[in-house]
Structure 1
Amino acid sequence: MSFVEYLGRVRIRKGQELLQLSDKDLHLIAQETGFANDYYFSRKFKQIVGVPLTVYRKQPKRIAVLMPHATACLLAWGIVPVFGVVGLWMEPWLTAHYRERLDCSGFRQGEWYSDKTVQWLAANPPDLIMVYREEYTERLWEIAPVFTIPEECSDWREELLVLAAAVGRREQAERWLLLFDERALAVKNKLAVQRARGETFLIVKIVSGKCYVYSNMTSMGGCLIYDVLGLQPPPAVQRNMIEKGLLNIHVPLDDLPDYSADHIFLFHYHSHWPAAECEVLGSSVWRSLPAVKNGRVYESDPNVFYAYDPLAMEKQLDWLEEMVQSHFG
């Protein structure tokens, strides 16, 4: 195509993005995308997109999501994407939950960013594509407007609200956060004695005989356990992970006592190899940990705790509520 034609398509693509992700009026969007006036913008929009601009803004959008967390968030807000990447931890409990409550007949589960995914999107162009990594956007922009989660989203709440605003669910997300915080406060108050004593809590994931320790970030319940409930991590977790902004680290078995805590939240991905199963939990190092000796190890479903979307966070809080009642009630 000619340069003029290409430039016109780029301007309309940016206009599509602004129409979906902002409340700006048409006159301002026309200015920001390089059109002389609303009339010319509207005429070119219909020519390229195929529907009148005013109709496009009001009609439900077909969204493709190339990140499991955003797929789960959209489903939580009652939005079924036409294409969505689903993580292994979402099957079957999370997807089954929504298939019972939403019309998912038009939902296609797909792979992470791949040639197969791009080919499907090109053949079935959505109105918006949501991704995390900016290096994907150039190729995807040829298909549809692309929304990239800003890298400055440093915590789960901010990311949730950014996602919600992008799909017109900001108020719904804010209401959910208020209700969630009210529930979490009740659980936090039940742990007041342990918090006052300065008792420490460690998050450990075991996979194929290897130990991984988690911080206060967005996986294995870190943001809920440390940030929302305010439970105290061991000094080594604070020093080596939280202060450095690390999600997790692999801790060799012999170094595990350095991360010793009064309580351990254990997430065990069971291996098919019995030797790997016993390597950690059957070791003298594991058995010597204070939390293990005192019977303060709490194991739950790692798939539920892997994610941090609204449904996963609610299920995590449900489990923590029951755990607190049975061990500290």
Structure 2
Amino acid sequence: MTTRYSNVLNQHGHCFYMPIRVTVLSHLSADENSITQSSYSILIMVQGGDGYIEINNERLHLTPGCVLSFPGSATFKLPPQSGLHGVWIEYTGVMPDGLMKSPLDNDLIPQLRKCPAQITGLGGELHSAWTKPQADKPFAVQALFTDLIMKVNSTPMVTSVVESSSGWLPLVLQYIDEHYSEDLTRSQMAGLAGVSPEHFSRSFRNTTGQTFSAYLSLLRIRKAQERLLTGTPNLSHLALEVGYGEGTYLSRKFKQFVGLSPTAYHSKNKRIVTLNYNHTASLRALEITPQLGPYSAWLESLDTVPTARKLSLEARRASAVFHSVASARPDVIISYSLYGENKQLLALAPVIELPFMQMSWREQFTLIAEVAGRRLQAEEWLQRYDQRCHEANLQLDRNMGARGTAIVWEIGHGCAYCFSSSYGRGCQVLYNDLGFKLPQAIIDQDISNRGFIKTAIEDIPDYPADHIIITGLPDDPQGLQRIDRLFHSEQWRQLEAVRTSRVHILDQPDMFYGFDPLSSQAQLHVLLRVLTS
């Protein structure tokens, strides 16, 4: 029987592809030497972040939407702290008479595609099905993987990873960022880009608006400013840190670019610009109004802010933001790590980049206070907040004893999101300050690394918890109909939290969006009220 089927398959030449390993990129990059080669074909689907992978000793720049395929016979390394979020798939093609090379592989040359979110999202679904198999869906992994590789194969390839300055420039800028304190030369950078020194200089200036030498000098001065903003380094030591031989030369270059000496810059009251709601709120907690910053509707309701100091994020374009920030004449800009956008802003002022999902709101608040010269005030604010948390926990101890699990849902147009403590929405208060635990169902889906999980509204009951908190509801008729059907479904009614009246519908998405001191304080107040009512 086996021989008969093998002959039929050989006659028609069919090959079947199946996954061998499915994991998340963060698990691989945690160990620098975890993988260097594989026996199988590899597919990388980038869902978030910005970083690099080394293949055959060449670094490739990957951003959200990138799908990279290459044979496992290539040598490769995903550096630690690569900053990439997504899915790593190892798979093989099988025929009765042996293994078959994937059509997504081309010798040792990686194939790069830019795919829409619906395709990269299939990678997340495949990872969920792989790590949490369901007995009633025995073919889920096979079906998802087949659908995935068919869609990837039908997506056109990017013709070349490094065919122009748009390909090699991010690589060069990243290298300069990491090695600016060294003796870098134009010839070195041209060699890194794989172009002639003349072509490098022309392309570099056309793209960045500066010569390589001017860009490097500006970067070194901005790094010196960052160090002065968060400490009081010795000038001679600081000069060596940023690539200059002595303090007097640094002081001269510093004044050339900044217009002040390092000492004068360190002691002056800074004109601060923020680029997101959380950092604006951190400054407001310190009783500072940024020179320019965005305000959520909830944050704006707390205080009157002059229109000239509001940064609009509606239909935000990089050029519009640049011109708005330039008009504010900032001494420092505070932002999350947004590589391309922040690079442009370096021409205006040093950019203090706070890594997203890697720093708690307390750590961000403390660093911002250091930049603003309000470290003591921040410590006093946190002491008062910690006292409120202590009192809240005593009240919860009296009312409910052991906390149990809790889940926070924000329900939007056609889908629902739940979060980890690194994504705000009150989860930093529930899990870090009040002692509630994440439900096992979202732990199994690696929410700690992913930050959030997206699911259909109808699938919310698949994530049971002792307490269910809904911070936002859809405002469209179709979404409201789906919510109504959910609340009347038997699956919803059978949830323990529903039967014991531990579902809290708050519908305050604007306030719960915040991941900052003021929002956390307000979220603590609301959560305590509903949990003890």
Question: TM range, normalised to the smaller chain?
Answer: 0.7 to 0.9
Q: Deviations over 1:130-172 (max 9, x none)?
A: 2222513322222221211146834333333233333333332
AA partner of residue 260 (structure 1): P
Query: Which structure ranks higher in relative contact order (CA pairs < 8 Å, sequence separation ≥ 6)?
Result: 1
Of 443, 455, 461, the match for 1:257:
461
Among 353, 377, 381, which residue is 1:176 paired with?
Answer: 381
The answer for the alignment partner of 1:203 in structure 2 is: 408
Name 1:58's counterpart in structure 2: 267
Q: CA deviation at 1:305?
A: 1.5
Once the two structures are TM-superposed, the CA of residue 254 in structure 1 deviates from its matched residue by 4.8
Following superposition, the deviation at residue 109 of structure 1 comes to 1.5
In structure 1, C-alpha distance between the alignment counterparts of 2:415 and 2:212, rounded to whole Å:
55
Among residues 310, 325, 333, which one is paired with 1:108 in the alignment? 310
User: Which amino acid is 1:303 matched to?
Assistant: D
- Structure 1 residues 31 and 249 mapped into 2: Cα distance closer, same or farther (>3 Å)? closer
| Matched residue SS, 2:421 | coil
d(CA) in 2 for partners of 1:232, 1:79: 35
Identify the residue that residue 11 of structure 2 maps to in structure 1.
none
Amino acid at match of 1:294: T
Does residue 1:24 correspond to 2:233, yes or no? yes
- Cα deviation for residue 79 of structure 1 reads 2.1
Contact residue 271 and residue 277 of structure 1 kept, 8 A: no
SS at match of 2:348: coil
What secondary structure is seen at the aligned counterpart in 2 of 1:110? coil
The structure-2 alpha-carbon separation of the partners of 1:209 and 1:285, relative to structure 1 and needing over 3 Å to count, comes to: farther
User: Residue 323 of structure 1 corresponds to which residue in structure 2?
Assistant: 530
**Alignment match, 1:278:** 484
- Which residue number corresponds to residue 155 of structure 2? none
Provide the C-alpha distance between the structure 1 equivalents of 2:345 and 2:244, rounded to a whole number of angstroms.
24
Alpha carbons of structure 1 residues 268 and 135: separation in structure 2 relative to 1, 3 Å: closer
Q: Is structure 2 residue 483 aligned with structure 1 residue 310?
A: no
Question: Which residue is 2:134 aligned to?
Answer: none
Verify the 8 A CA contact 1:226 1:232 in the aligned structure 2.
yes
Cα shift at 1:296: 2.0
Distance 1:287 1:4, change over 3 A: closer
The structure having more radius of gyration, on CA atoms, is 2
Q: TM-score under structure 1 normalisation?
A: 0.82
2:337 corresponding residue in structure 1 = 133
Residue identity (%) = 32
* Separation in 2, partners of 1:70, 1:121: 15
**Which structure is higher in helix share?**
1
| Structure 1 residues 28-74: Cα deviation after superposition (integer angstroms, max 9, x where no partner) | 33444455554444444334333444433322111221222112111
1:229 to partner: Cα distance = 0.3
Verify the 8 A CA contact 2:461 2:495 in the aligned structure 1: yes
Moved more, 29-38 or 297-306: 29-38
Offset at residue 261 of structure 1 (A)? 2.5
Name the structure 1 match of 2:427: 222
Is contact 1:206–1:269 with CA below 8 Å preserved after alignment? Answer: yes
Distance 2:455 2:470 in 1: 14
Flag the structure with higher strand content. Answer: 2
* 1-structure distance, mates of 2:473, 2:434: 25
* Distance in 2 separating the partners of 1:39 and 1:321: 56
SS at match of 1:240: coil
The answer for the alignment partner of 1:185 in structure 2 is 390
* Residue range with higher mean Cα deviation, 260-269 or 40-49: 40-49
Counterparts of 1:2 and 1:255, CA distance in 2? 54
Tell me the equivalent position of 1:287.
493
More displaced stretch, 248-257 vs 218-227: 248-257
**Do 2:414 and 2:456's aligned partners in 1 also have CA atoms closer than 8 Å?**
no
Q: Confirm or deny: 8 A CA contact 2:426 2:512 kept in the other structure.
A: yes
Superposed CA offset, 1:61-118 (max 9, x none):
11221222112111211222222133xxx20x3123132xxx7465232335611111
Which segments of 5 or more consecutive residues in structure 1 lack a partner in the other structure?
none
- Quote how far apart the aligned CAs of 1:129 are: 1.6
Give, in angstroms, the shift of residue 310 of structure 1: 1.0
Runs (5+) with no aligned partner, structure 2: 1-209
